[in-house]
Amino acid sequence: MKIGFIRHGTTAWNLEGRAQGSSDIPLDERGNNDALALAKRLVGKGWSHIYSSDLKRARETAEIIVNKACSVGLEIDARLREVGGGQIEGTTEEERVTKWGMGWRELELGIEKREFVITRALGFLNDIIETHTAANNNVLVVSHGAFLKQLITEILPDEKVDGTLANTSLTILSYEDGRWKIDSFNDIGHVR
């Protein structure tokens, strides 16, 4: 079984450097175009199912893929939501430093704790493994940068997965004999 993890397309807040978290921001024009380019890349690659976060930017990315590339059912799952940003949602780095100082990352600002993110991420992943491994299905999952990065680092602790996941990036993992392996990481070859 393979899972293709996709980060949603760009939004206006991405371009402004604003923390999105669980704020429900739609794709911008570039995000729509990049999702279409990714959809074209995925045509005929044997993806059998697609799951998406319920937030607009991920759901819209997934809908473009379904409509243009993979005529499979789309399942929405709130467990795939981005890490909740608490009080930092909607702010830029400069605004955070102005409001809370350089050490804002050490403050309790209502940001969702890693253990909660990992619990919901692994719950989702275990359901996918249970549902799709025996049938050897290949599954696409459209979600969010911080969420996907935390999940991938959790299931592949010995792999070096540095950097931010790019918008509409495709990371493909193989699952065999109870182990995960990276086939490709943060691939944006479809974006010009």
Report the pLDDT value the prediction gives residue 69, as an integer from 0 to 100.
Answer: 81
**What is the domain range of residue 44?**
2-187
Q: Which of 49, 105, 106 is nearest to 73 (CA)?
A: 49
Question: For residues 165 and 4, is the Cβ–Cβ distance under 8 A?
Answer: no
pLDDT tens column, 154-191 = 999 988 888 899 999 999 999 988 899 999 999 999 99
**Does 162 fall in a domain?**
yes
DSSP category for residue 159 = S
pLDDT band at 75 (very low <50, low <70, confident <90, very high): very high
**Does 163 fall in a domain?**
yes
Residue 154 CA to residue 61 CA, distance in Å, equals: 25
**Does 29 fall in a domain?**
yes
* CATH number of the domain where residue 66 is located: 3.40.50.1240
Q: Which of 176, 150, 120 is nearest to 3 (CA)?
A: 176
**Does 7 fall in a domain?**
yes
pLDDT band at 134 (very low <50, low <70, confident <90, very high): confident
Residues in a beta bridge with 179: 176
Number of domains in the chain: 1
Residues in the chain, total: 192
Residue 13 CA to residue 21 CA, distance in Å, equals: 11
**Does 192 fall in a domain?**
no
Q: Which amino acid is at 45?
A: K
**Does 62 fall in a domain?**
yes
Q: What is the CA radius of gyration of the chain?
A: 16
pLDDT tens column, 21-60 = 999 999 999 999 999 999 999 998 989 999 999 999 999 9
Q: Average pLDDT of the chain?
A: 94
Residue 108: other Cβ atoms inside 10 A? 7
DSSP category for residue 171 = E
**Residues contacting residue 29 through CB under 8 Å, at least 6 positions apart:** none
